[in-house]
Each structure stands twice: as structure tokens, then as C-alpha cells.
Amino acid sequence: MSRHRFVRNLALTNPQDDFEALSDGGEDENNEITPEQLAQMNSVREHIRAVIGPPKRSGISDKEIDDASWEYYFDLDQTMDHILEIQGRRNAAKERQAAKEREKQEKMAAMTGNARVGALRAGAPTKTSPKKSGKASGAATPVAAKMDQMDADMLALGLQDSTPLVMDTEEPPKISLAREKLLEEAKRAISGQGGDKLSLSIVIIGHVDAGKSTLVGRLMYDLGSIDQRKRAQTERSSEKMGKASFSWAWEMDSGVEERNRGITIDMAQSVLSLPNRTIVVLDAPGHKDFVPNMISGASQADTALLVVDATNGEFEAGFDKGGQTREHLLLVRSLGVQQLIVAVNKLDTVAWSEDRYNEIKESLGNFLVQSGFQQSKTSFVPVAGFLGVNLVDRLQPEATELEKWYTGPTLVETLDKLDPPGRAIEAPFRFPITNLFKGQNAASSGVAVSGKLVSGVVQVGERVRVVPGDESAVIKLIMADGESLPWAAAGSNVDIYLSNIDPIHLTIGSVLCPTSAVVPLVASFIAQVIIFDQSYPITVGASAELFHQSQNIPVTIVPLETLDRITGATIKSNPRVLSKGMSAKIRVAVRGSTISESSASASHARLPIETFKDNKDMGRILLRRNGETIAAGIILSLE
């Protein structure tokens, strides 16, 4: 048998062929293989499977592996390269098709005025889904670990499990704890009594290409969360695509478009287990086009890690007007983040210069104070993410110059000392939905939602209300970091599996709450805001996009009063314009129908929100227009 003939079914040139099942191998020629060759073939297949996963998940059949293995004389490296190449090409083709599909759905959704819901209903979770972490032991959220980019694309293409979201109608579980007991347990766990590590979440922010994903990928590896085999695979595939410098970033950026463009687009989530803290890490995109994704992630975080590029000229480009360093800092501060770590990154590019580090520290320090960050809650750490310098270990051969002048803590030591913020455990349960997906857990294949509990406690078996709407659902399962939990409390980033609800009643931006303490639903409200630097001042009736938790919807703004920034006293009533630096009271009215009480009343758009006084997290807003953040503030009253 000629080896050439044996591989004739491999789709080596035409990507379209890659979609077709390659089951027909012609004559069965295995009988020409000797037992030794068969054993070699099995061994190669096993090794490759260990890297790429099972046929359904990898999109590569056993026959394709065997054909390639035969072609390359059972050379594992060459066979692996070949298989990864096929996989990469298929992913790219699928991504193209998925993008087309998404575009079509967004157009349709735009025609009905309901873009986000439209995309979601069509089963396109890639935009908002948390991505797979590199942690081999399942550190990412369980769904993230199962639903990677490829699965999502296959889903969008109808090539995989294309069944729609369905209602789980199984008998719901029973509540196991009385509320008082549950509160007691939650308080004990949150305060770290009983041996639990303190938990908190951190969003990684900074200008595009500052090195955020690289730093997180390298950190995960140095902490042992990414195994050698997976690392070798990522290195090999990034090299193959001529993107070796992004190989650490690829541990976080798993989307095909992200890898092709070398930028983060969606938030990626992973978990760091440190000696004293468990930290949920949310890696945000730095590119200005994806600020809305960054806001959605930042609204789920307790603290922030700002990464700045120390390279000459690069720090300045990110920090100047138009760069994302300032905007990201203002956004996270407006969303309530108080503790900040600044990683002064890529110090290798400036020969580990202490002067450059101090120069950056000084420029940023002044801006941080002006933006309301307290010095005592801000730490600076010099690092080089790509080389892994001063992440876990300070003493490294690459950085002997750094050791001469820096004796402070490493990044991990700094992270391990972060204080979790106060949690509103006793307040009513509030869970704004950031993502909606089909359950992939053995215990439930019904609908699941992910997000952060901004307040209260919730347990399995509890009936919850979904707002907007009149529907309720039962909590069937709560998952965090790959584990099933009996309950969750304020501050936790979890996936909640729901039963007894038709998924049509759930959307990104809906809020789960107790049936006895339903979150208010309003069409307009009064807010107190600070006006940011912007191209045009805000006039009466100005249009803007309101960002609240995980949703963004069109609104109109009416300025009511300008206020003294320190005393809050009224300076002027009914001002005609609001400009940079002003503090003002404004009326915000929801326009259109992005989120409505029911699909039948699309014109009656209302929003589940609360005043800042009642619930700090539910009472914060951001306003953006034409890609600029124009104001941020708090909700004073509902109308």
C-alpha cells in the first residue's frame, strides 16, 4: 500500500472539505499494517488525543489521525503538526461562517431593535461567554471549561449540539437551610473563619497590547495551573501561525479572531489559587472598540490590576488622551473599584531602568489621586510578564538589574494581600445575568446563567423571580470553579442552573431576585453624575448609551441641575449644557426596547435598577456616546 494512497481522503487543501465527515476510507487496508505498526499508530493516536481531546470536541476523527500518522511514518511531532494545522484551518473556516451567521442575526435583531437578545437567542455565546481557562484542573467556571470557541462555532454552524435552550422540568430540589442558618454560614465563609481562603475577583485592565493576557497566561503557568503538555501545544500552534510572541496571551485568548488579530475581544475568566486568596481573574480587552465588553467584565470585579507598558513611548501612548489607560481607570473607579495594583510591565525593554519605573509611577500616581484612588489602596509592582519576572519569583537570571534596586513584593505576594470588599449579604439577593447558555453539566442540561451575586445569598432549591417579566424559576444547581455548591453569597462569580422556566424569559441584563423582594423596574430615573472629557458637551435631550451591570441600552439625558462637586449644593437649575468636570443631576429616560417587560410590549421599555442608597452595585451607571465615556455616577431616585 502506498502511503500516498492511504492519505487521499485528507482535506489538505480545500478548507470546505474539512467540514465533511471523512468516514469513507475506501478499501479497508489496515490488514496491510504489521502488528508493530499498528501499535505505533495506536500510541501516536493516544498522544494526539491527549492534546486535542475526543473526536466530537476536537472535530478530528480517529481516521484522520491514523492517516496522518501513517503518512508521516508514525512521527508524533510531524503528525501532531499536521493535525493542528487541519484543526486551525477548520476553526478559521468555522469562525468565518459563524461571523457571517452572527452578522445576519445582528442585522435581523437590529431590524427588531433587540440586538443583544437576538444574538443570544440564536445560540451565539462567543461574544459574552466567559472563555476557557488554561487551568487543567478545571479552575475556570464549568461552562467556560466546556464551551470553548470551537464548540461555540460548531454550535452556531449547527455542526454540534444545536438543540435549542430548553426548559428543565424535572422535580426541583428542596431547600436545605433556613435563611438564618444560611446567613450564618455565608458570613463565616466570607470572613475566612473555618479555614476558607478569602475570595475576590480582579479585572485586568490597560491599553491595548500592554501585555495583559500574556501576564495572566504566564502567571497561570508559573502557578502550575497550565500543564506542560497544554503549554507545549499552545507554543507549537502559535509558532506555526507566526505568532510566537503571543503564545502566553493565547492561554487566555482562545478565539480564532482573537488569535489572528493578536488582541483580546471577549472577557476571559480563570481562577488563581494563592496561599491565602482564591482570585477570579477577568482578563479585559484593551482595544477601544471593545470597551463595552470591558465594562461588562469590570462590573463583575471587586478590584483591578492595571497593566502598563514601560517601553519608551508606549506608556505615553496608552496614557495620553485617546489611550485606554485613563479611560479604564476612570471606568473601574466609577464602577466602585477601590483597590488597585499597577503592574509596570515589559521592563526588559528599558533594561530594567529604575528611573523609568519611577517616572511612570509618578505620572500615574498623580492621575490616580485625581481620579479618587487612595494611595494606601494602590500598589505598584515592576514586572516583565513575558519572561515571568517578579510574578511568582523575584530572583531570576534575566533580571539581575532589577534585583539591584527592587526589594519589594512580587505580583503574587501583592495579589495575595488584597482585601475583599464588604459584601452586602443581608440585602436582598440580586444576580444580573451576564451570560446565558445551555447547561452542559451531567446534573442538568437545562438553561444556565452566569454572573456575579451583587448582594444577598441564594441556595439550591430556592424559587427566584426573573425581572423584567412575571416569570419565576427554581435554582437547580450552583457551580463555581468546577464545583457544585449548596449556596452562594454576595461577591461570588457563579453559574446558576435553572429549572421550571422557559429560556425565552431570560436575557442578558435580566436580574434574578427573591420573589418576596423584587427589583424595581423603571423607564426613567434621576442620577448624580460627573461629566468626563468628551468631544461634544451634553445638551438637553442628548442621546447616549446607558451601561448598567451587564447591559447597555439607549437613553436620552435631560440636565436638571449643576452641582458643587464638594458640597453637592445646586449651582444652576435647568442648565442648557453640561461640560467636562461638572457634577450634575440629570434625568435618564430609557429609549427603544432593548429590554422590555414582555416581548408583547416592546415599546414599553423598562430597566431593573435600584437606587445607590438601596444597593450600591445596582445603583451605579455609566453613560457613553460615540465610543466615548461621557459620564458616570449613581442613581438617586426612580421615577
Ligand X SMILES: Nc1nc2c(ncn2[C@@H]2O[C@H](COP(=O)(O)OP(=O)(O)OP(=O)(O)O)[C@@H](O)[C@H]2O)c(=O)[nH]1
DSSP codes, 310-358: -STTHHHHHHSTTSHHHHHHHHHHHTT---EEEEEE-GGGGTT-HHHHH
Q: What span, in angstroms and rounded, lies between the C-alpha atoms of 284 and 267?
A: 5
Nearest approach, Cβ of residue 325 and ligand X (Å): 11
Given the complex with ligand X, which of 67 and 95 has the nearer CB atom?
A: 95
Residue of 40, 199, 264, 499 interacting with ligand X (CB under 6 A):
264
Going by C-alpha positions, the residue among 164, 153, 43 that lies closest to residue 92 is: 153
Q: What span, in angstroms and rounded, lies between the C-alpha atoms of 541 and 577?
A: 10
Binding segment toward ligand X, per CB under 6 A, in 256-264, 325-333, 430-438, 527-535: 256-264
Binding segment toward ligand X, per CB under 6 A, in 77-85, 150-158, 259-267, 525-533: 259-267
Going by C-alpha positions, the residue among 458, 139, 148 that lies closest to residue 279 is: 139
Evaluate the omega torsion of the peptide bond into residue 172 and state whether it is cis, within 30 degrees of 0: no
Cα dihedral value 452, 458, 461, 463, nearest 10: -90
Contact in structure between 323 and 225 (CB atoms under 8 Å): no
Nearest approach, Cβ of residue 347 and ligand X (Å): 7
Given the complex with ligand X, which of 214 and 299 has the nearer CB atom?
A: 214
Residue of 203, 220, 263, 449 interacting with ligand X (CB under 6 A):
263
Residue of 30, 349, 358, 371 interacting with ligand X (CB under 6 A):
349
Given the complex with ligand X, which of 45 and 356 has the nearer CB atom?
A: 356
3-state secondary structure of 450: strand
DSSP codes, 30-46: GGGS-HHHHHHHHHHHH
Residue of 245, 312, 515, 543 interacting with ligand X (CB under 6 A):
245
Given the complex with ligand X, which of 94 and 212 has the nearer CB atom?
A: 212
Given the complex with ligand X, which of 349 and 599 has the nearer CB atom?
A: 349
Nearest approach, Cβ of residue 590 and ligand X (Å): 31
Cα dihedral value 207, 212, 213, 219, nearest 10: 180
Given the complex with ligand X, which of 123 and 382 has the nearer CB atom?
A: 382
Grid coordinates standing for 531?
461629566
Contact in structure between 591 and 604 (CB atoms under 8 Å): no
Please report, as residue ranges, which positions from 204 to 223 form the binding site for ligand X (by CB under 6 A): 206, 208-214
Count residues near ligand X (CB under 6 A).
25
Given the complex with ligand X, which of 238 and 550 has the nearer CB atom?
A: 238
Contact pattern from residue 270 through residue 299 relative to ligand X, giving x for each residue in contact according to CB under 6 A and a dash for the rest: ---------------xxx------------
Given the complex with ligand X, which of 156 and 384 has the nearer CB atom?
A: 384
Nearest approach, Cβ of residue 439 and ligand X (Å): 30
Given the complex with ligand X, which of 287 and 587 has the nearer CB atom?
A: 287
Please report, as residue ranges, which positions from 454 to 483 form the binding site for ligand X (by CB under 6 A): none
Given the complex with ligand X, which of 386 and 612 has the nearer CB atom?
A: 386
Q: How many CB atoms lie within 10 A of CB 589?
A: 17
Q: What span, in angstroms and rounded, lies between the C-alpha atoms of 203 and 332?
A: 9
Nearest approach, Cβ of residue 602 and ligand X (Å): 36
Nearest approach, Cβ of residue 136 and ligand X (Å): 21
Please report, as residue ranges, which positions from 495 to 514 form the binding site for ligand X (by CB under 6 A): none
Residue of 65, 98, 249, 418 interacting with ligand X (CB under 6 A):
249
Going by C-alpha positions, the residue among 468, 441, 502, 431 that lies closest to residue 165 is: 502
Nearest approach, Cβ of residue 305 and ligand X (Å): 11
Nearest approach, Cβ of residue 14 and ligand X (Å): 32
Name the region of 74 (left: φ>0; alpha: ψ -120 to 50; beta: rest).
Answer: left
Given the complex with ligand X, which of 349 and 396 has the nearer CB atom?
A: 349
Please report, as residue ranges, which positions from 222 to 241 form the binding site for ligand X (by CB under 6 A): none
Binding segment toward ligand X, per CB under 6 A, in 202-210, 326-334, 458-466, 505-513: 202-210
Going by C-alpha positions, the residue among 139, 353, 104, 339 that lies closest to residue 230 is: 139
Nearest approach, Cβ of residue 88 and ligand X (Å): 18
- Polymer length of the chain: 639
Please report, as residue ranges, which positions from 376 to 395 form the binding site for ligand X (by CB under 6 A): 384-387
Nearest approach, Cβ of residue 215 and ligand X (Å): 6
Nearest approach, Cβ of residue 257 and ligand X (Å): 11
90 binds ligand X (CB under 6 A): no
Strand duo 493-499 + 378-382: pairing: unpaired
Given the complex with ligand X, which of 210 and 424 has the nearer CB atom?
A: 210
Cα dihedral value 564, 566, 567, 572, nearest 10: 0
Contact in structure between 458 and 429 (CB atoms under 8 Å): yes
Given the complex with ligand X, which of 140 and 154 has the nearer CB atom?
A: 140
Nearest approach, Cβ of residue 346 and ligand X (Å): 4
| Closest CB to ligand X: residue number | 286
Strand segments, DSSP code E, in 549-582 are 551-563, 570-573, 577-578
Q: What span, in angstroms and rounded, lies between the C-alpha atoms of 260 and 283?
A: 18
With a CB cutoff of 8 Å and minimum separation 6, the contacts of 384 are 345, 346, 347, 348, 390, 398, 399
Nearest approach, Cβ of residue 199 and ligand X (Å): 24
Please report, as residue ranges, which positions from 309 to 348 form the binding site for ligand X (by CB under 6 A): 345-346, 348
Given the complex with ligand X, which of 217 and 432 has the nearer CB atom?
A: 217
Give alpha helix (H) positions in 248-290. Answer: 256-261
Nearest approach, Cβ of residue 119 and ligand X (Å): 22
Contact in structure between 600 and 594 (CB atoms under 8 Å): no
Please report, as residue ranges, which positions from 526 to 545 form the binding site for ligand X (by CB under 6 A): none
Contacting positions for ligand X (CB under 6 A):
206, 208-214, 245-246, 249, 262-264, 285-287, 345-346, 348-349, 384-387
